[in-house]
Amino acid sequence: MKRSFAKLADGRELIYYDADASAPRPYAPDLRPLDPVDSRPQLRRDEATGDWITIAAHRQTRTYHPPADACPLCPSRDGRLSEIPAADYEVAVFENRFPSLAGEAGRCEVVCFTPDHTGGFADLTPDRARLVLDAWTDRTEELSARPGVEQVYCFENRGAEIGVTLAHPHGQVYAFTAVPPRTAKMTAAAAAHRAATGRNLFEDLLARARAEADRVVLRGEHWTAFVPYAARWPYEVHLHPHRRVPDLTRLTEAERAEFPALYLDLLRRFDRLFDRPGPTPYISAWHQAPVRGGGELALHLELFTVRRTADKLKHLAGTESGVEAFINDIAPETAARRLRECA
């Protein structure tokens, strides 16, 4: 893999990732007349829960559903300038111009998976998916080393139903300076499990799923994908490496090599779940251990959709939004069986 660094017109960092380390990466300047980014998000603590809330009022003016010929994530071609100055790229990562986190509050980066505006991650080749994995890993390593960063979170939102405002295939990387609530809950649960049993919680969750089998969707030599016993979403799959590691940087070459085909298989099964045109909306989230004090939390990927039938969405209504009490309409064993049938 080759990394090539550049600067956008307003000073933000841009990194090109190319699979061939010997391939030349011609320099392409950003010719747009951009004003400096003026974003000052604030972290405020909710005293009633202890959660940290980000106030990012500047995001009200962010780009919202532009037409395809004005997409800011496509390469700069035919006289149209975008966030990617090059005329072509494989994978590109740059600082978000409308970040939720910046400065002392952290950092937000955009990950462009492909220059092709159409399609999605499921349409990538295994080699391109591997390059994205390498980019996630590189950003995890670099951002984790920054002062004040407590967790690096790589994720993808896909589909208008999720709230995506740019249709181009892309994800994001957040560097949090405060441990997010879900991570804090999992870390506490893992510590309690260790104190009660002497074992790691996530190793036990994986072992139980593999032993019971009715919630397993895919098995590989190094990874297993399964629906959790208490799934919150209608179709929710967790993908774990068999060897417990805290984050992406600790995966072996064999584990990295197997991941792309398994992950692409999962995404394509999600797209075959419902008899309706168009891709299935989803959120794909890498859960990694906090930089400090999170050794019990095991790396795993969580993939779920807000769609529960071809014409119904899972809305977070009174119980979920009000008191965070999830109610799932589909049994996890049924969801796993449906996903196995979608091979």
DSSP 34: P
- DSSP string computed for 326-338: ---SS-HHHHHHH
Residue pair 235/330 in contact by the 8 Å Cβ criterion: yes
Active site (annotated) includes residue 170: yes
Alpha-carbon span 324 to 149, nearest angstrom: 27
Cα separations (Å) of 177 from 20, 144, 209?
34, 10, 33
Q: How far is CA 296 from the centre of its chain?
A: 21
Alpha-carbon span 36 to 8, nearest angstrom: 10
DSSP 276: S
Q: Is 142 exposed, middle or buried (0-12, 13-18, 19+ CB in 10 A)?
A: middle
Q: Which residue type, as a one-letter code, is found at position 294?
A: G
- Non-local CB neighbours of 125 within 8 Å, separated by 6+ positions: none
From 65, 117, 168, 170, active-site residue: 170
Residue pair 54/42 in contact by the 8 Å Cβ criterion: yes
Alpha-carbon span 119 to 229, nearest angstrom: 32
Alpha-carbon span 45 to 65, nearest angstrom: 32
Cα three-residue angle 9-10-13, rounded to 5 degrees: 85
Catalytic residues: 170
